[in-house]
Amino acid sequence: MEIKQTAIAGTLESSDIQIMLSKGQSGIQIDLESDVKKQFGDQINAVITETLKKFDIDNVKVKAVDKGALDCVIKARTIAAAQRALKTVDQPAWEVL
Partner 1 sequence: MYESIVDLNLTNSKVRAKWQAFLKSLGIADFSDREVDQIDFTIGIYNGDDLVATGSAAGNVLKYVGVCNKGVTTGSRFNAIVGELVNRLFQQQIFHIFVFTKKRYSESFQHIGFEQLGDTDVAAFLEMGDPNIHDYLDGLPKVPNQQYQQIGAVVMNANPFTLGHRYLVEKAAKQNDFVYVFVVSAERSLFTADERLKLVRAGLRDLDNVIVVAGGDYMVSYATFPAYFLPDNVTATDYQTALDARVFKTQIAPALHITTRYVGSEPLSKTTNQYNQALKRELPPDVQVVEVPRNQDQTGAVITATRVRKAIKAGDLSNIIESLPSSTYDFIKENLHELQSRIMKGMNIDGN
Chain residues binding partner 1 by CB under 8 A are 5-8, 11-14, 18, 20, 22-23, 33, 61, 63, 65, 67
Look at residues 18, 66, 8, 76 and name the one whose alpha carbon lies nearest to residue 42. Answer: 66
16 touches 5 (CB < 8 A): no
Residue 38 CB, nearest distance to partner 1 (Å)?
15
Q: How many CB atoms lie within 10 A of CB 38?
A: 8
Least separation in angstroms between CB 95 and partner 1 = 27
Residue closer to partner 1 by CB (options 13, 50) is: 13
Nearer to partner 1, 6 or 49 (CB): 6
Closer Cβ to partner 1, 54 or 68, answer by number: 68
Angle at 49 between CA 56 and CA 25, to 5 degrees: 65
Least Å distance, CB 24 to partner 1, is: 10
CB 60 within 8 A of CB 22: yes
